[in-house]
Amino acid sequence: MSSDLKIFSGGANLQLATQICETLGLGLSRLAVSRFSNDNLFVQIRENVREKDVFVVQPFTAPVGDTIMELFIIMDALRSASARRITAVIPYFSYARSDKKDAPRISITGRLMADLIRTAGADRVLTMDLHSDAVHGFFSIPVDHLTAIPYFVEHFRERLDLDNAVVVATDAGGAKRAGRLAQRLHLPMAIIDKRRVADTEVVQGLVVGEVKGRDAIIFEDEISTGGTLAASVKTLAAAGVKSIHVGATHGVLCGPAVNRLVDSPIESVAVTDTVHVPREKQADKIHTLSVAPLFAEAIRRIHTGESVGALFD
């Protein structure tokens, strides 16, 4: 691999960044992050990056404000150190959920984040499975938008008998996402009618599609508190499904999520490592799929000027 390529990581997911580097045969580039006595972050790049092609890995995970600020300061330091190009690698872009003005006097924060990422020094962005495809258009710099769907296709083909399966979208907004998985698995799809009444509370109604007696595969972009999944399980059980399995790219798993999954009739849950899942959030029914090889190949292609889109042809 070219010596002009440098990969740095913030503190949000060092494990993923390290695996990306190992796949590429590189060492993780060195930086130091500390705090002043007033809690301000301090970042120092510990190697030469002048005229280098630099990638910074940092998903937007809790504490989100700190991880975002750390990314901004790292990129600004790299720009000051004369890096030739800076790519913000954001495996999980949490503010993609804020993509529209659906209440009075609120910020479309996804657009604000896109502007701030560019201002902080990013020349391009590499991310995965945005909550809304519209967020891609918020950026005025190039964005490479990866998907983990091929990993879930392989996972479900290996673990399930798909002859009697159906892919389920938990609301109309996720139908396009679930439809992509259903198409790759050559399966029918069903959609649950959902109304969100609060951040952690949803109300569901009818199921559109045939699920009775079938093995349901719920497919989401992320699992946060697990509130939507809990409601979906009740809805599908009432509709007579045979079994329930779950796939979600981003295993945020905050609050009561793990307990909800473990205590539910869900037979298996698959997430990727875009978000680091600590030991206390791991459980037998939760399987983690590593997307480090895909990010590594995308980084290699960006560095060499090859097509990233060709990865999914």
Query: Are 307 and 179 contained in the same domain?
Result: no
The three-class DSSP label of residue 178 is helix
Query: Are 15 and 37 contained in the same domain?
Result: yes
259 residue type, one letter: N
Structural domain boundaries enclosing 205: 149-289
Question: Active site includes 194?
Answer: yes
**Cα 264 to Cα 212: distance, rounded to the nearest angstrom:** 19
**Cα 194 to Cα 233: distance, rounded to the nearest angstrom:** 13
Among 126, 140, 163, 155, which Cα is nearest to 302's? 126
**Is the Cβ–Cβ distance between 76 and 42 less than 8 Å?**
no
**Sheet with 5-9, side-by-side order of all strands:** 5-9, 53-57, 85-90, 124-128, 143-146
- Domains in the chain, number: 2
Query: Are 16 and 114 contained in the same domain?
Result: yes
Query: Are 187 and 72 contained in the same domain?
Result: no
DSSP 42: E
Query: Are 181 and 137 contained in the same domain?
Result: no
**Cα 298 to Cα 243: distance, rounded to the nearest angstrom:** 36
Identify the CATH number of the domain in which residue 97 sits.
Answer: 3.40.50.2020
Query: Are 86 and 120 contained in the same domain?
Result: yes
pLDDT tens readout for residues 271-309: 999 999 999 999 999 999 999 999 999 999 999 999 999
Residues contacting residue 287 through CB under 8 Å, at least 6 positions apart: 155, 268, 269, 270, 271
Query: Are 37 and 142 contained in the same domain?
Result: yes
Query: Are 208 and 143 contained in the same domain?
Result: no
> What pLDDT does 195 receive?
62
**pTM score:** 0.94
Catalytic residue among 6, 176, 194, 242: 194
> What pLDDT does 193 receive?
82
Cis peptide, bond prior to residue 63, ω within 30 of zero: yes
User: Strands 143-146 and 124-128: what pairing?
Assistant: parallel
Q: What is the mean pLDDT of the chain?
A: 93
> What pLDDT does 205 receive?
65
**Is the Cβ–Cβ distance between 253 and 222 less than 8 Å?**
no
Phi and psi at residue 227, to the nearest 5°:
-65, -45
> What pLDDT does 134 receive?
86
Query: Are 199 and 233 contained in the same domain?
Result: yes
> What pLDDT does 171 receive?
87
Query: Are 22 and 132 contained in the same domain?
Result: yes
Phi and psi at residue 50, to the nearest 5°:
-60, 125
Query: Are 137 and 168 contained in the same domain?
Result: no
- Percentage of residues in the chain having pLDDT higher than 90: 86
pLDDT tens readout for residues 115-156: 999 999 999 999 999 998 889 899 999 999 999 999 999 999
> What pLDDT does 3 receive?
82
- In the structure encoding, which two tokens stand for residue 179, read together? 């439809």
**Cα 183 to Cα 247: distance, rounded to the nearest angstrom:** 15
**Cα 126 to Cα 92: distance, rounded to the nearest angstrom:** 10
Query: Which segments of the chain have a pLDDT < 50?
Result: none
State the CB neighbour count (10 A cutoff) for residue 161: 8
Query: Are 134 and 35 contained in the same domain?
Result: yes
